[in-house]
Structure 1
Amino acid sequence: MDTVEIQRVVAIEDDNWWYRERRAIVARELRRLGVPGRAADIGAAGGGNTRVLLEHGWEAIAIDASPAAVELARLRGIDAYHGDACYLPLSTGDFDFVMALDVLQHITDDRTACGELARVLRPGGTALISVPCDLALWSAHDVALGHVRRYSRDTLAEVVEGSGLVLDRMWSWNVLLRPAAKWRRHRSAPPDVERLHPVLNAGLRAVAMLERRLPLGGLPGVTLFARAHRPEL
């Protein structure tokens, strides 16, 4: 993600339905974990998700490969550092929770990156990962965002488990909006990160909030989430 794209994300993410709902998923997972500890947000961009960790009482740091993203996160009061997801500047076994949301699809060597998530977790620690799914949704949108792949359930499970993590749960997100996403992403020009009309934004958020209450996680969606843990010694 380049500097302009990061700045656009920071400008809209507080109100945009997609970023708000993704933060709601993070918050739900943190509530499930209970007592806060040390956490790292890998590929944090401007730190929007890192702030969720802080709001829930976690001692959290942000890591991003972009110096511009690190600077933006620091300007927002976040403890942020420059680092490559394949060579994290973090101590082994030092974190209770790590997350890499929409990161692995940008990395050619995703196995090494996932292995780094496992390395920095303490035994019993939890990782939360999200990726775009299904090659049927591949479009100019993916190319514009620098994606090198989309995942199936099998390929994501293979990467997660190949890193030494134990996969606890995998689920789909944006199942209800998948048909609209497929139509939009196969337009001739990739959409920019944009501020939506308030009515459209509210409507999309209402659909996403409805999805929280429905048992749709096993159906095809736009995004896959995986929760995993590092085995106890």
Structure 2
Amino acid sequence: MPTHFAPAPRSDADLLAANRSFYEPLWAEARLVPPERFNTWPLVRELAALSTRRLEIAPGLRPRLPLQDTCFVDLSTEALRKLRRQGASAVHGTIGALPYADAQFDLVCAFDILEHVADDHGALGELARVAAPGATLLLSVPLHIAAWTPFDEFVGHCRRYEPEHITALLARHGFHIEQSAIYGMQPKSSRLLEIGQWYLTHKRERAMWWYNRVFMPIAVRMQKPLQWRAGLGDTAGVDEILLVCRKT
């Protein structure tokens, strides 16, 4: 991946506008993909069976937790409408100001969200606040600033994390990494990402059609089982990682 790019400072307002402009049209044209279709399901099914107090933040139309008996929070009106249509409990909100009481959940999920907010300290503080003692946090983040590309900025990323940074940040808010797995469905080809970015910029409607009806179904079908390792593990060359954390 190119190494000469770096994220430019972005305000909360800029990030919010970028995320809305990218994801609201995406969810408007998308169908909900049930959580059973993702390679996270074996882990999620096991964890969900142990807890009926569950929260997933910003799932869009790709929820990983069961739709029944899970609380969902999202900014997208389209995503909320379609989640509710499937019987889910979904409310409008942000990771920086969760509309729930302290220590309310035993299982909290935030997939592909922390890198989208300017105040990640505040976001993790909110996750820690609503998580009960001993709760499990499922968190995925992109790694390595050297892997930054213009596509990160295009999809509303604020940063990529160095492994020691995310470890220290989680520890500061009372979370210990128990296990991890290489994660994500982003194409490895920088050329494909450039083509995708061009179409999303200049021919958005056509790009959304292809993404939702062709590329996303193929990506889901080609997922490999997650390979778990203790702690953070070796992150050399890893683009994105899924962390299973415990609130200590």
Corresponding residue number in structure 2 for 1:2: 20
Q: 1:191 to 1:134 in 2, by over 3 A?
A: farther
Residue 23 of structure 2 aligns with an amino acid whose one-letter code is E
> Does the Cα contact within 8 Å between 2:24 and 2:76 map onto a contact in 1?
no
Q: Does 1:218 align with 2:230?
A: no
**Which residues of 2 match residues 1-233 of structure 1 at below 5 A?**
1-2=19-20, 5-9=23-27, 11-12=29-30, 23-25=38-40, 27-33=41-47, 34-46=49-61, 48-49=62-63, 52-54=65-67, 59-174=69-184, 179-180=188-189, 182-185=190-193, 189-190=197-198, 192=200, 194=208, 195-196=210-211, 204-205=219-220, 207-209=222-224, 212=226, 218-219=234-235, 220-231=237-248
d(CA) in 2 for partners of 1:188, 1:10:
18
Q: 1:144 to 1:93 in 2, by over 3 A?
A: same
Q: What TM-score do you get using the length of structure 1 for normalisation?
A: 0.76
Shift of 1:111: 1.1
Corresponding residue number in structure 1 for 2:10: none
Shift of 1:77: 2.5
Of 195-204 and 219-228, more deviation after overlay is shown by: 195-204
Bigger RCO (CA 8 Å, 6+ sep): 2
Residue 43 of structure 1 aligns with an amino acid whose one-letter code is A
- Secondary structure of the equivalent of 2:141? strand
The C-alpha deviation readout for 1:59-101, integer Å capped at 9, x for no partner, is: 2111123444333432333211111211111111111101011
**RMSD of the alignment, in Å?**
3.4
Shift of 1:166: 1.7
Q: What TM-score do you get using the length of structure 2 for normalisation?
A: 0.72
> Does the Cα contact within 8 Å between 1:167 and 1:229 map onto a contact in 2?
yes
Shift of 1:38: 1.1
Residue 225 of structure 1 aligns with an amino acid whose one-letter code is L
d(CA) in 2 for partners of 1:119, 1:197:
35
d(CA) in 2 for partners of 1:214, 1:95:
24
d(CA) in 1 for partners of 2:92, 2:216:
32
Residue 117 of structure 1 aligns with an amino acid whose one-letter code is L
Query: Structure 1 stretches of 5 or more lacking a match?
Result: none
The C-alpha deviation readout for 1:2-21, integer Å capped at 9, x for no partner, is: 26633424644657xxx986
Equivalent pairs: percent with the same residue? 23
- Secondary structure of the equivalent of 2:66? helix
- Secondary structure of the equivalent of 2:26? helix
Query: Structure 2 stretches of 5 or more lacking a match?
Result: 1-18, 201-206
Residue 60 of structure 2 aligns with an amino acid whose one-letter code is A
